[in-house]
Structure 1
Amino acid sequence: MTAHNRGASVPHFLIAQSELPQEREARRRRAGKSSGETYAATLAQMRPGVATTIVSPTDDDTPTFTAERLARFDAVFLTGSPMHVYDDGPEVRRQLEFMCRVFASGTPSFGSCAGLQIAVAAAGGRVRKMPERMEAGIARRISATEAGRTHPLLAGRPPSWDAAALHGDEVLELPAGATLLASNAVTQVQAAEIRHDGGVFWGVQYHPELALREIAIAIAAQADELLEAGLADSQDDVEARARDIDALHDAPDRRALHWRLGVDGEFAEERLRRREIANFLASLPDLRTD
């Protein structure tokens, strides 16, 4: 699929997935979709009829997307992935160069988890491995900063909320031109806006695009890491948590699961979980900088 002129009746979104080929295939075997395919499915549900193109900037055989070509899209979405943006290598460099061109194109962009970290690093901020901790399954008590309380990205969020999350890296330092929008006790940067080189990026450290079943599959697959981080005492604990989150996917109103997981509708209900993506889509007419 090729880019069309923005402003047409059907919006066209570019989805950049930073997984390596073997990681994409492993995710497809576990969850049925790559991270980019998950984003495409979510956007298609939220905006029926939308056109999407998935690209993998980390791959050495991916054609270069110039700033001029990127400007033809209505928005760019950056997915999560196992990528560590502080590891210098050709895959990371290609991804960061791609994001620099996104900023230069003026096309509004949105990213979750590693997508936020990529935008931070491309704009001059710093990302690190979280020291002796990680956030897995549920990011608890995320709260908006003073700037975040009136920012359209978080419109409709209560003063504190839980979100689907799975990450062992975090933003250490936001770049110049960034605004911190939300934090929690685990990591300072849970949501941010970045303005850089003529472009605007909105991002979150959590995963509004993921179905709860995908979160359940992901934490089950990373049981060893959760045990090493001290988040669970046994494999059985991880499997029990994964089962509860998977069950909540099918029964988001089930009060027993809300009680057992310690969540409310902000986490359980798909429409509320996707709030940041919905807010970004609604704000697109105001975000174009050219």
Structure 2
Amino acid sequence: MIAESETPDERDARRAHAGKSSGETYAATLRQLAPDCVIDIVQPADDDAPAYAPEDLLRYDAVFLTGSPLHVYDDTPAVRRQLAFMRAVFAAGTPSFGSCAGLQIAVVAAGGRVRKMPDRMEAGIARRIVATAAGRSHPLLADRPGTWDAAAIHGDEVEQLPDGATLLATNPVTRVQAVEIRYDRGIFWGVQYHPELALGEIAIALRRQADDLVAAGLAESDRHVEAQADLIEALHREPDQRAHRWRLGVDGELADEERRRREIVNFLAALPALDRRPAGAVAPAG
């Protein structure tokens, strides 16, 4: 199952710019990695979304939570519905994976906190991500080098992890870059960056958020945002082009599609070993 946190208007806007909603992007990525998989896409944040009970989720091998413009600290009906859905996922014990807002939803559903990033954003490329001591031996980050860059665009971040969470990776801009959360019967693996996205989609996102990037001081003008987006788009078209990598200061961890998706690949490989906790397991406090 893929759970979109975008509202209908946001899904339509993303399709108009990128050709797919966030859930449709995830589905395309998963079908490339696991061609025989069967996927249901749901929209738990929508006004007319059904209320999912834990037993509704038991038949799924995994649940994926997408990114979106959702601000998890806003007390809105859409946020409350998304959090209720994630708590049902935890109660079902179905393993789950999320990126960006998907990570933040899981954090808050399990008792943690998310905030607007103070006076900054992380946009285009998350630089110098490093695994923590726990992350260096964690299967989510298997085969990642000592430090790596990843596709990212976000203005919110995890402020406090919940009980039952293990920080797996960090960088100088955003402390929580990768995490495991064990809550109720469930286990969640997530990242603040976007292993599911093509670099062309990151370029589109930069152009769409040009005003925010200028306001955050990451660019002096829309023209500078456009120039950076053009470089990322060029790398998307020619990932092996050494000149593009040099101009962006990146290597194959970002440029190569297979390596960029490593966390999703690792999660899929680990699914058979992710034991569901027994019924009646007590949720951590908070």
TM-score interval for Structure 1 and Structure 2 normalised by the shorter chain: over 0.9
Measured against aligned partners, the alpha-carbon deviations of 1:165-186 in whole angstroms (never above 9, x if no partner) come to 0000000000000000000000
Q: How many residues align?
A: 277
Q: Distance in 1 between matches of 2:34 and 2:118?
A: 39
Q: Does 1:274 align with 2:261?
A: yes
Is 2:87 the counterpart of 1:100? yes
* Among 146, 150, 174, the residue aligned to 1:159: 146
Code of the aligned partner of 2:132: T
Q: Residues 67-95 of structure 1: CA distance to partner in whole angstroms, max 9, x if unpaired?
A: 01101100000000000000001100000
Question: Corresponding residue for 1:109?
Answer: 96
Choose from 7, 13, 17 the match for 1:30.
Answer: 17
**Are 1:252 and 2:239 matched, yes or no?**
yes
User: 2: distance between equivalents of 1:152 and 1:74?
Assistant: 18
1:71 aligned partner, one-letter code: L
Structure 2's unaligned 5+ residue stretches are 278-286
TM-score (structure 2 length as normaliser): 0.96
SS in 2 for 1:24: helix
TM-score, length basis structure 1:
0.95
Alignment of 1:165-204 (within 5 A): 165-204=152-191
Choose from 120, 124, 138 the match for 1:137. 124
Equivalent pair of 1:216/1:243 in contact (CA under 8 Å) = yes
Equivalence for 2:65: 78
Q: Report the more deviating stretch, 230-239 or 99-108.
A: 230-239
Write the distance in 1 (CA, Å) between the matches of 2:233 and 2:51: 39
**Identical aligned pairs, as a percentage?**
71
Alpha-carbon deviation of 1:288? 3.1
What residue is the counterpart of 1:21 in the other structure? Answer: 8
Q: Deviations over 1:177-228 (max 9, x none)?
A: 0000000000100000000001000000000000000000000111000000
Q: Quick one: distance in 2 between partners of 1:173 and 1:64?
A: 27
| Distance in 2, Cα, partners of 1:58 & 1:69 | 17
Q: Distance in 2 between matches of 1:21 and 1:99?
A: 19
Kept after mapping to 2: 8 A contact 1:107/1:288: no
Residue type at the aligned position of 1:208: P
**What is the DSSP-based 3-state SS (H/G/I as helix, E as strand, rest coil) of the residue aligned with 1:187?**
coil
RMSD over aligned CA atoms reads: 0.6
CA shift at 1:64, angstroms?
A: 2.1
4+ residue segments displaced more than 3 Å: none
- Give how far 1:66 is off: 1.3
Greater mean deviation of Cα atoms: 203-212 or 228-237: 228-237
Letter aligned with residue 151 of structure 1 = H
**Alignment-derived partner of residue 282 in structure 2:** none
